[in-house]
A and B are shown apart, each in its own frame.
Chain A
Amino acid sequence: MATRLKDTDVVVIGLGAVGGVAVLPLAQAGIDVIGLEAGTWLTRRDFAPDEIRFNLRDWPMAVHKADGEVPSSRANASAQAFRGGSHPMMNGVGGTALHYWAQSWRLNPWDFKVVSETTRRYGASRIPKGSTVEDWPFGYDELEPYYDKVEYEVGVSGKAGNIKGKIDPRGNIFEAPRQREYPMPPLRGTAFIDKMSDVARSVGWHPFPGPAAINSRSYQNRSGCMYHGFCNKGGCHVDAKNSPHVTTIPRAQATGHLQVVTRAHVTTIEVDGEGRATGVNYVTDGMEYFQPAKVVLLAGHTYENIRLLLLSKSKAFPNGLSNNHGQVGKHYFSHHQGGGVSALFPFDLKSWYGLPAQGVAVDDFADDNFDHSGLDFIGGGNLWVMSDRRPIAAAGGSTWNRAPSWGSQWKAWIKENVDRSHGSYLQKTTLPYEDNYVDLDPVAKDPLGFPIARITAEFKDNERKVATYIQDKMEEWYRAAGAIDVSRGGVGGAMGPSTHAYGGTRMGDNPGTNVVNRWGLSHETPNLGVLGGSVMGTSGAHNPTLTAQALAWRTAEYLAKNWKSVAK
Chain B
Amino acid sequence: MADDQPRIFTRRDLLRGAGALGVAAASPIGVLGNPNDTDHSGHDGSAALDEQQARIGVAPARETLETLTAAEADTLEAMCARIIPTDANGPGAKEARAARYIDRALGGALAGQREAYRAGLAALDRYATSSRGKAFHELSPIDQDSVLMDVESGSATPGIFAGSSATFFNLVRTHTLQGTFGDPFYGGNANFVGWDLIGYPGVRTMVTAADQQQLEKNTLKPNHKSAYDTEMFNKATVKLDLPTSAPEVANGD
Q: How many residues of B contact A (CB 8 A)?
A: 69
CB-CB contacts below 8 Å: A340-374 with B:
348, 350, 352-354
- Bound CA–CA A412/B185 (angstroms): 26
Q: Does B204 contact A353, Cβ atoms closer than 8 Å?
A: yes
Report the stretch among A256-264, A296-304, A441-449 that lies at the interface. Answer: A256-264
Q: Does A7 contact B227, Cβ atoms closer than 8 Å?
A: no
Q: Does A411 contact B87, Cβ atoms closer than 8 Å?
A: yes
Q: Does B207 contact A5, Cβ atoms closer than 8 Å?
A: no
| Residue A402, interface by CB 8 Å | no
Q: Does A395 contact B177, Cβ atoms closer than 8 Å?
A: yes
Q: Which residue of A lies closest to B178 (CB)?
A: A392
CB-CB contacts below 8 Å: A6-64 with B:
6-7, 40-46, 48-53, 56-57, 60-64
Q: Does A57 contact B33, Cβ atoms closer than 8 Å?
A: yes
Interface centre among A42, A56, A93, A395 (most CB of B within 10 A): A395
Report the stretch among A225-233, A266-274, A462-470, A521-529 that lies at the interface. Answer: A225-233
Known: A61-B29, A391-B198, A407-B85. A43 touches B183 (CB 8 A): no
Q: Does A260 contact B2, Cβ atoms closer than 8 Å?
A: yes
Query: A52 touches which one: B178, B198, B199, B206 (CB < 8 A)?
Result: B178
- Nearest-neighbour CB distance to chain A for B82, whole angstroms, equals 7
| Residue A375, interface by CB 8 Å | no
- Bound CA–CA A40/B186 (angstroms): 26
Q: What interface size band does chain A fall in?
A: 35 or more
Report the stretch among B58-66, B67-75, B208-216 that lies at the interface. Answer: B208-216
Q: Which residue of A lies closest to B173 (CB)?
A: A406
Q: Which residue of A lies closest to B6 (CB)?
A: A41
Known: A5-B250, A6-B249. A407 touches B35 (CB 8 A): no
Q: CB-defined interface of B130-174 with A at 8 Å, one 1/0 digit per residue? A: 000000000000000100100010000000000000000000011
- Bound CA–CA A286/B230 (angstroms): 38
Q: Does A49 contact B87, Cβ atoms closer than 8 Å?
A: no
Report the stretch among B19-27, B39-47, B114-122 that lies at the interface. Answer: B19-27
Known: A41-B6, A392-B181. A253 touches B1 (CB 8 A): yes
Q: Does A406 contact B82, Cβ atoms closer than 8 Å?
A: yes
- Bound CA–CA A292/B35 (angstroms): 40
Q: Which residue of A lies closest to B92 (CB)?
A: A411
Known: A52-B186, A190-B216, A418-B199. A62 touches B30 (CB 8 A): yes
Interface centre among B85, B185, B199 (most CB of A within 10 A): B199
Kindly list 8 other residue pairs between chains A and B, CB separation below 8 angstroms, not including A226-B207, A415-B197. A40-B241, A48-B227, A57-B33, A61-B30, A260-B2, A260-B4, A263-B26, A353-B211
What are 11 residue pairs bridging A and B, where the CB atoms are less than 8 Å apart in the complex? A4-B253, A43-B239, A48-B35, A52-B183, A61-B27, A63-B27, A190-B212, A191-B216, A227-B207, A285-B22, A408-B87
